[in-house]
Chains A and B, each alone.
Chain A
Amino acid sequence: MTLRDILNKLLGRQPASAAKARERLQLVLAHDRTDLSPDLLDQMREEILGVVAKYVEIDVDGGEVSLETEDRMTALVANLPIKRTLSGALKLKEQDTENSN
């Protein structure tokens, strides 16, 4: 935090806009580079969740499917916390789910 940030807070001003620009740009570029609209990404997310859910029980709310981009390489990153396998015997990532609760 800089003096300016503090001053901005005290005066109730908006924070500096470059960070916002960077964030918006990275998001829009990830979509531009893959030619995937947010709608298509949502649809893909639903289908991926559907497939995974056939094999393991996942924490749908804690899950995330997104596009990340670095050095002009875009990756589809799915982070799906597994509650347990559907065979029931094995409790995967038990600690993770406890932490999130």
Chain B
Amino acid sequence: MKSVTSDTRVILICSGKGGVGKTTLTANLGISLASKGSPTAVLDADFGLRNLDLLLGLENRIVYTAQEVLEEKCRLDQALVKHKQEPNLSLLPAGNPRMLEWLKPEDMKRIVEMLSNEFEYVLIDCPAGVEDGFKNAVAASKEAIIVTNPEISAVRDADRVIGLLNSNGVKPIQLVLNRVRPKMMESQEMLSIEDVTDILALPLLGLVLEDEQVIVSTNRGEPLTLIGSQSPAARCYSNIASRLQGEEIPLIDPSKEGSGLRDKLRRLMQTKIF
């Protein structure tokens, strides 16, 4: 465990819109960073509707939350749920769905400071929306990853969140474009990668290809990066974790995914002829 606090990377994972893949990204990045040797904590900042425990398969092991730690009813290490297969990763839920007292930004800051003493990475799974839960999470964060889908509603909400992060001095802010469907992009029935990066004016940390295996892994409570899957999304998550750790890994080129006859015909249809 670490003793120096200042260089802990406290990363907010947010999107504005719900259902774009914040929690799935948090779970997979957490596992991936931990398996690459970085002690990592994932903090579920959404205590009204928490789900990070489910995605990590830890839902039955939660006893305390950040709230009990703040109230000094338990120690931090009692509230942290260590992942059995990946002991470098711990989960801390911010609170309990039945909680009456709402956390405040200062509470969130204190909890993250405590986590920073112990971990190299603190990933904060931000609640959807831009209300109190979001403000609490922003107050405790240093940098951010915006998750969005190539859909107008998700991009619009991401834009709003970027504005709020900018005015709160959170930086750097990087982009993860989730649920990319190469075929739809190629037939121009989906916003392209450039469309989204141009509009949001953020550096692209990574793409995640649409992948049915994500649903399968969620059913099992075993993130794709935990089981060493080589499915498209698993490779993408692992690449993103490596880039966070400073490795230079080229982006997946969605147009090169698939090499059968159908894909060749599809590419021919897209060739500019005049």
Contact = CB atoms under 8 A, between A and B. Distances in A.
B199 A3 contact: no
Interface stretch (B45-53, B93-101, B155-163, B231-239): B155-163
Contacts of A21: 151-152, 190-191, 195
B186 to A, nearest CB: 10
Interface of B: 151-152, 155-156, 159-160, 162-163, 185, 187-192, 195, 199-201, 268-274
Contacts of A71: 201
Contact of B188 (A3, A16, A28): A16
Contacts of B273: 1-3, 6
A4 B187 contact: yes
B189 A18 contact: yes
Contacts, number: 60
A47 B61 CA distance: 64
Interface string A39-63: 0000000000000000000000000
A25 B152 contact: yes
B155 A72 contact: no
A7 B189 CA distance: 15
A26 interface: yes
A87 to B, nearest CB: 45
29 contacts: A1-B272, A1-B274, A2-B269, A2-B271, A3-B268, A3-B273, A4-B270, A6-B273, A7-B269, A16-B188, A16-B189, A18-B190, A19-B188, A21-B191, A22-B195, A24-B152, A25-B152, A25-B191, A26-B199, A28-B156, A29-B199, A32-B156, A32-B160, A33-B159, A33-B163, A71-B201, A72-B162, A72-B200, A72-B201
A73 to B, nearest CB: 9
Nearest to A19: B188
A17 interface: yes
Contacts of B189: 16-18
A4 B271 CA distance: 9
Nearest to B166: A72
Tell me the dominant secondary structure on chain A's binding face.
Answer: helix
Nearest to A29: B159
Contacts of A3: 268-271, 273
A4 B269 contact: yes
A2 B195 contact: no
A72 B197 CA distance: 11
A18 B192 CA distance: 8
A30 to B, nearest CB: 10
Interface in A57-83: 71-72
B200 to A, nearest CB: 8
Contacts of A25: 152, 155-156, 191, 199
A26 B201 CA distance: 13
Contacts of B192: 18
A16 B187 contact: yes
B172 to A, nearest CB: 14
